[in-house]
Structure 1
Amino acid sequence: MFTNFGWIVEAKLKEGELENFKAVMNSQVNRALNEKGTLNYQYYLSDAGDILVYERFADADASHEHIENWDAHAERWISAAEPTRMLHLGDLPDDVRERHASLAPTWLKPLAGFAREEYEGSLIENGNDTSFENFGWIVEAKLNQGQFEAFKEVINSQVARAKTEEGTLNYQYYLSDEGDILVYERFRDLEASFIHIENWNDHAERWIAAATPTRMVHLGDLPQELREMHASLSPLLLKPLGGFAK
């Protein structure tokens, strides 16, 4: 099992606002680099203007500090992009949840998995801008009725095998009270992601019998050969735009 304090924000870039959005994003990121408890602050963008922000913090106090960063940028941010969805990831306290109440975030709590925290970050500095590389994806699904125990059994088998995969850095299952499933997966490199896909292939039939996949998002500038391996789920491709992972 793992602990997590964080969230995902999704938005749609407004027409003609890319440069304005990048300006406010870079201002936020530069400030967040000085927040000791902000571990991941990663912006992704699709070719069609879909935005995803992955945010992770050391603890609840660090998340409050970061929210103040957002408050100072919120007006400019929203003028350039329209928020569409928010997901809370982890056992977040009520005072954090209340600060995002206007976005009615879906709350997903850790179910199974791990994070290899000792792996070094992927920060790339380019003048006053920062970016990062990423090999990974998010899978979303809905738990099938009466299949909770069967689902736990298959994911526990997957997680046990993934722990033997040295290049699998994050393999984290979340579940909401309503049966919404989110899986966050991150890998050291392309080779590691291919090894992990073999894990999925060996479990796929049992997994899909217990839960119905609803969405997949590829996170990173992933090559076509990997994208084709997930073609049946028509994954949205979001490439790094700015931010960091410590």
Structure 2
Amino acid sequence: MDSERNDLLGRFLRERRALVRPEQAGLPPDGRRQVPGLRRDEVAHLAGLSTGYYARLEQGRERPTRQTVESLARALRLDEHARVELYRLARPTARRRRPGRVERVAPEVLALLHDWTVAPAYVLGWSGDVLVRNPLANVLHDRFVFGDNLPRMIFLDPAGRQFYRDWTNTARAAVHDLRHVARQSPDEHHLRELVGELAIASHDFRRLWAAPEPRGPLKPGSNFYHPDVGDLHLRTEIFPIASGPGLRLVTHPAEPNSPSAQALALLGTLATQPAE
């Protein structure tokens, strides 16, 4: 699967650099140019990469970091749709986690998720890590690159603002949740690293983290979007898991017989299709 994805990434990069005219990138026109668009060395220069490293990306032999993907998106002058596609194909490497709190999902909860087919459901860890999803949630979240952690999905992932139609409410609820966790475990290093990463990479997170804390619980948004089925109106139900302190089961059911229920049923067919 990784080799297929890297081949698709290489094809995407070749196709996109062919669409950029040198003058668009601030390069002088060259009447002797033998390739459409930009050459490999020009893309590498614009993105601050070595020519050899960029060549390996086009050949599918490297997996880029998030910073590299951002640099390539700027160099290739990608719009928002193309930027999301680049992230989806690249699946950039994430920051390595230091050992910390061990969070395990009990077999009974795993069995419940496996049998739960009418609504997306997943288990969140102490600091928002997505520990396990049922098949329907896997399909619902299949456009996310940083699908390992809910706050990253909301604040850092290029698919976040398109997926969460009520992005502001969802973002405020996520910050409220992280503050609650931080008060309970201020010395948790994984949480400190996560908050630091979000604060560095997201202006919106910094603004919400620094804002006065609202009173009472905050509910995340209920409107979502998936490109295969369109808009979805789903409830968000959160249940604490007794067998795993700090773990929460999150589900997104639709009203019975509603258009969103029909859309979830269609997504369910995608979840049961065998991988190619």
Q: TM-score, normalised by structure 1?
A: 0.32
Structure with more of its chain in helix, by fraction: 2
- Larger relative CO (CA 8 A, sep 6+): 1 or 2? 1
Bigger Rg, which one: 2
